[in-house]
């Protein structure tokens, strides 16, 4: 009666964490730093736009978004990545979506062939990874190929270790930059290489760039920026962006997909049958957010200040490094589950074991096993308190 592929999915990280900590009383006032849910005050323009356009709640929203929203997205891409005028067409290359979680999952349904003779289609993904990548592969009956992304490879998959047979069978390659959880950023040379592989072996490169506007010192290069440097060709390339992190508005469930017009067209057709569309007042708020860069700069400054606090608290202990992008710390604690339980018991702070964000490969290796992830999503004072408690627990 059920889809048996559901049984192939690994346990989701947060129920696993709840089971790990079940029965352990927190040693201090509980503080959740395990979930990447931004706690910064959302921009006032969200409420203003939704009040202004409240009369539109009675309308069915267009699946491809309003022209105004697509214009705002196109203009933001042009500004953010210095794209040449005309490279992005709002109607052919841009598709607003109800949050990128759904879009990252459904892109697999769009591009992975079904019942095709020959080798089973493969989906390549970094390891650790955002869990939806795994679900997209497994539930579309593709072979998931996790690619270790540890410190020895700069926290990105080593492209030299992927053989041609795997690349030939690959239909979809997920890459996150800045990476969740490690904060690593793919260099222009790295992106040029993987884009070249996508076209040579004819797979879709799904670039998850949801943390693109949260960075420490240097703005991350994007895949479309590399496409622009190559004459504007976007074949085989899609980028995924969201307002959840950039605008501290995960509850809006608003993002977009942009890139290869052929894939966007097919993806739009699929979503007509199965996807929620963004309500009109939320589209109006999203339009305002993509048109404004000031609030994103202010948001970035808040995260940078918390990285400063982390550097002060941890120094050179526990493998601390300043993440180039994103808002997570990826600390080397040796045994992730033991450290997580100790921190909860002694400090009352909830973090997540790195192995819960990774998968054990066929050789029995799990690249997250020695790490914990800490989300720096609270205000500065709360963040300092939490990190100080964590450090004390790890030292004791």
User: Mapped to the 3 state alphabet, what secondary structure does the chain carry?
Assistant: CCCHHHHHCCCCHHHHHHHHHCCCCCCCCCEECCCCCCCCCCCHHHHHHHHHCHHHHHCCCCCCCCHHHHHHHHHHHHHHHCCCCCCCCCCCCEEEECCHHHHHHHHHHHHCCCCCCCCCCEEEEEECCCHHHHHHHHCCCCEEEEEECCHHHCCCCCHHHCCHHHHHHEEEEEEECCCCCCCCCCCHHHHHHHHHHHHHHCCEEEEECCCCCCECCCCCCCHHHHHHHCCCCCCCEEEEEEHHHHCCCHHHCCEEEEECHHHHHHHHHHHHHHCCCCCHHHHHHHHHHHCCCHHHHHHHHHHHHHHHHHHHHHCCCCCCCCCCECCEEEEECCCHHHHHHHHHHHHCEECEEHHHHCCCCCCCCCCCCCEEEEECCCCHHHHHHHHHHHHHHHHC
* Whether the predicted pLDDT of 116 surpasses 80: no
pLDDT band for position 1 (50/70/90)?
A: confident
Given this model, what pLDDT does residue 165 score?
Answer: 96
pLDDT band at 96 (very low <50, low <70, confident <90, very high): very high
pLDDT tens for 180-189 read 999 999 999 9
Whether 31 shows a pLDDT value over 90: the answer reads yes
Confidence of residue 110 (pLDDT cuts 50, 70, 90): very high
pLDDT at 8: 87
244-297 pLDDT tens trace: 999 999 999 999 999 999 999 999 999 999 988 999 999 999 999 999 999 999
pTM of model > 0.85: yes
**352-364 residue pLDDT tens:** 999 999 999 888 8
Report all structural domains of the chain as residue ranges with CATH numbers, in order of start: 4-41+295-395 (3.90.1150.10), 45-292 (3.40.640.10)
């Amino acid at each position: 009666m059920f889809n048996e592929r559901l049984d192939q999915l690994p346990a989701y990280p947060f129920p696993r964490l709840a089971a790990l900590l079940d029965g352990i009383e927190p040693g201090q006032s509980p503080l959740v730093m395990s979930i990447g849910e931004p706690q910064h005050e959302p921009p006032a323009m969200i409420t203003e736009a939704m009040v202004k356009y409240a009369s539109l709640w009675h309308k069915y929203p267009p699946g491809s978004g309003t022209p105004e929203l697509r214009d705002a997205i196109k203009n933001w891409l042009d500004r953010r990545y210095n794209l040449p005028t005309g490279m992005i067409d709002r109607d052919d290359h841009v598709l607003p979506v109800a949050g990128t979680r759904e879009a990252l999952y459904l892109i697999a349904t769009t591009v992975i062939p079904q019942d095709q003779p020959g080798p089973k289609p493969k989906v390549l993904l970094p390891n650790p990874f955002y869990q939806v990548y795994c679900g997209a592969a497994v539930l579309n009956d593709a072979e998931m190929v996790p690619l270790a992304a540890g410190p020895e490879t700069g926290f990105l998959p080593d492209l030299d270790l992927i053989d041609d047979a795997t690349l030939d069978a690959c239909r979809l390659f997920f890459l996150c930059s800045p990476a969740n959880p490690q904060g690593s950023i793919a260099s222009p040379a790295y992106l040029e290489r993987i884009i070249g592989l996508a076209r040579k072996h004819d797979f879709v490169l799904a670039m998850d760039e949801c943390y693109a506007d949260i960075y420490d010192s240097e703005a991350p290069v994007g895949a479309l920026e590399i496409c622009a440097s190559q004459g504007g060709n976007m074949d085989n390339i899609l980028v995924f962006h969201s307002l959840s992190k950039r605008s501290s508005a995960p509850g809006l469930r608003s993002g977009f997909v942009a890139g290869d017009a052929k894939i966007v067209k097919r993806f739009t057709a699929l979503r007509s049958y199965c996807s929620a569309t963004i309500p009109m007042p939320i589209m109006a708020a999203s339009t305002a957010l993509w048109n404004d860069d000031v609030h994103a700069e202010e948001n970035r400054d808040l995260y940078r200040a918390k990285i400063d606090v982390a550097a002060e608290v941890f120094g050179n202990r526990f493998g601390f490094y300043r993440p180039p992008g994103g808002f997570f710390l990826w600390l080397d604690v040796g045994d992730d589950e033991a450290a997580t339980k100790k921190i909860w018991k002694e400090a009352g702070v909830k973090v997540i074991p790195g192995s819960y964000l990774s998968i054990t490969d066929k050789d029995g290796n799990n690249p997250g096993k020695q790490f914990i992830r800490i989300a720096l999503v609270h205000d500065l004072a709360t963040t300092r308190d939490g990190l100080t408690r964590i450090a004390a627990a790890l030292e004791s």
